[in-house]
Structure 1
Amino acid sequence: MKKIKATALFCTTLLGISISSCKKDYVPQTDLAYDVVVDGATASFKVTTKGVTGYKWDFGDGTTSTDAAPTHTYPGKGKYVPTLVASVNGKTTESSTVLRIAKTSPVKINDNSLADWDAVTKDVLPLGSKKGIFRAVKMDYDGNYIYVYGEIAAKKSDGTIFDFYIDSDNNPGTGLATGTFTDGGYDILLEGQLFVAGVDIFYHNGATQQAFSFAQQSIADAYTVGTVKEEGGILKFEMRIARGKLKGLTGSGARFGIQVTKSDWSVGLGSAPDDGGPSYFLDMSE
């Protein structure tokens, strides 16, 4: 995740005294400064002024702390104004700054756990009569990645073939416009035995939008399979797709449709959402 460092340095005042501006001939009795390092939704605060005691932090989201150098995780995207009230060389002083927290995801792809997906409740793909072996599909995203969670009634050793149809620019005027899923023009196809040999990456290159024609790409680190677990006949898995690696995925939204097929291509095993209907729109405008 991208880390952002900010420094809060203010012309400060004794509490109860109002000063509308820092005039050139005014020498403040106390200065209170601190650095803030933001990593995702977590901010780490460090006071740089000497002689400070009696720390009282208000993080701007209804929570507080009296630690000298606190670390605080914000509840989500938004603008927050953390404020510190403290004593500097015996004089009570206040300083504030503005933090903007970007969209983050609770998903950790390499923690050998799927429990973090319990916190993902917004983007749950609808499963209908054609779901087949699908039992659940969720999605999430942040500035760098799109995350996918799935449950299918299968085993890793089955070699199930996955097809991920992606309308990466959310533009029905580009990409494959006919076929499995409606409401999109599918620019990208990820296809293969996800748990055995991985998937290949294809970009649509048909002369028309009705031509099912995709050219294979060689793109390193475009996707990563995370934790995979087999429990009670259900195969649970997670993966992430690098938004900056595949064309069009850095925009404000994309459409997704997923199909699974038997390892010898003989039988279609399911679809999420139902094939023949609209794909799922992942709104990434936050």
Structure 2
Amino acid sequence: MKNFKAYMFVLSVAVASSVFSSCKKDSYTPQTDLLYDVEVDGATATFSVKTEGVTDLKWDFGDGTSSTDAKPTHTYPGKGKYVPTLTASVNGKAAEASTVLRIAKTSPVKINDNSLTDWAAVTKDVVTLGAKKGIFRNVKYDYDGNYVYMYAEMTGKKADGVIFDFYMDTDNNPSTGLSTGTFTEGGYDVLLEGQLLTAGVDIFYHNSTNQADFSFAQQSIADAYQVGTVQEEGGVVKFEMRIARGKLKGLTGSGLRIALQATKSDWSVTLGSAPDDGGPSFFLDMSE
């Protein structure tokens, strides 16, 4: 599996001494050019000077920290707008260059690191499990600009071939999708269903104008989801997955209602729900 970079871009900044430059080009005549590139991966930015003849350089990263390295790498503390500034001498003349960096919501979850320890840092979006939790012991979610991540712990074995149903109100709009059925407070546009840990899941879109009609059409969407690390020990299975926000209709919005249900491999018994079926689904606020 390849590492995915949430986003990456390169900014070239050339400004006059004491002139501020944003991501857009301003109409001015440079007096002393100072050029540098910024490469951003998640919350980590790598800076490199492109102008020749630069000495006495100092980076102010815009979050209270600084560096005098020629090519520093800096990890920002969280999402937000930062204004990194480089001051230096260019051929003996003082110069300053700034730009605006917008760091988006990032996730500590790495889907391809053969570990689940990164989920310990996810403490906000944890599903409250009720009387109908069944086999589920822990379910939680996280997200970034590109993916929704899910972690689950359940009793049993991977080889059990448990069937999972993910009910998803992807556009956070109760007036679209299935409005009756297993979980309330949502119009469920997307259903992921199948033996996730042994055979994968199929993807279905609600395809009826009647919101009371349990009618879903199967979709063929490449790379819409990916199972990460799966661990099994002492009668407990722990696993993670991610869903590509850009692949499923409506999932690029600011909120998602999602509920998970497990069923025995022969469809004979419902094994558990997170949260409880018959009640509201879990709301994942993605407005950051």
Normalising by the residue count of structure 2, what TM-score does the alignment of the two structures yield?
0.90
Q: Which among 263, 266, 269 is matched to residue 264 of structure 1?
A: 266
The 10-residue stretch of structure 1 (30-39 or 126-135) with the greater mean CA deviation from structure 2: 30-39
Q: Which among 55, 63, 66 is matched to residue 65 of structure 2?
A: 63
Task: List runs of 5+ in structure 2 lacking aligned partners.
Answer: 1-5, 19-25
Distance 1:149 1:262 in 2: 20
Alignment of 1:206-285 (within 5 A): 206=208, 208-285=210-287
Distance 1:67 1:136 in 2: 44
Give the partner amino acid of 1:6. Answer: L
Give the partner amino acid of 1:52. Answer: V
Does the aligned pair in 2 maintain the 1:11–1:22 contact within 8 Å?
no
Give the partner amino acid of 1:43. Answer: A
How far off its partner does 1:91 sit?
A: 4.2
Shift of the 86–154 alpha-carbon distance from structure 1 to 2, 3 Å rule, reads same
Does the aligned pair in 1 maintain the 2:34–2:51 contact within 8 Å?
yes
Matched, 1:199 2:204: no
Matched, 1:93 2:99: no
Task: List runs of 5+ in structure 1 lacking aligned partners.
Answer: 14-20
Among the aligned pairs, what percent are the same residue? 74
Shift of the 70–208 alpha-carbon distance from structure 1 to 2, 3 Å rule, reads same
The 10-residue stretch of structure 1 (120-129 or 92-101) with the greater mean CA deviation from structure 2: 92-101
Give the partner amino acid of 1:3. Answer: M
Does the aligned pair in 2 maintain the 1:78–1:100 contact within 8 Å?
yes
Q: Which among 9, 13, 31 is matched to residue 4 of structure 1?
A: 9
Does the aligned pair in 1 maintain the 2:174–2:185 contact within 8 Å?
yes
How far off its partner does 1:246 sit?
A: 1.4
Deviations 1:158-215 (A, max 9, x none): 1111010001111111111111111001111111111111111111224521122222
Deviations 1:96-136 (A, max 9, x none): 22111122222221111112212222211111121111111
Deviations 1:204-246 (A, max 9, x none): 2245211222222222211111111113322111111111221
SS of 2:210's equivalent?
A: coil
Deviations 1:38-78 (A, max 9, x none): 22222111111212223321211122222110111212211
> Which position in structure 1 is the counterpart of 2:35?
33
Aligned Cα root-mean-square deviation (Å): 2.0
How far off its partner does 1:92 sit?
A: 4.2
Does the aligned pair in 2 maintain the 1:160–1:261 contact within 8 Å?
yes
How far off its partner does 1:23 sit?
A: 7.8
Normalising by the residue count of structure 1, what TM-score does the alignment of the two structures yield?
0.90
What count of residue pairs does the alignment treat as equivalent? 277
> Which position in structure 2 is the counterpart of 1:44?
46
Does the aligned pair in 2 maintain the 1:35–1:46 contact within 8 Å?
yes
Tell me which structure has the larger Cα radius of gyration: 1
Distance 1:95 1:205 in 2: 53
Deviations 1:22-47 (A, max 9, x none): 986xx83x432211122222211111
Alignment of 1:101-250 (within 5 A): 101-206=103-208, 208-250=210-252
Does the aligned pair in 1 maintain the 2:17–2:94 contact within 8 Å?
no
SS of 1:123's equivalent?
A: coil
Distance 1:205 1:8 in 2: 49
Give the partner amino acid of 2:40. Answer: V
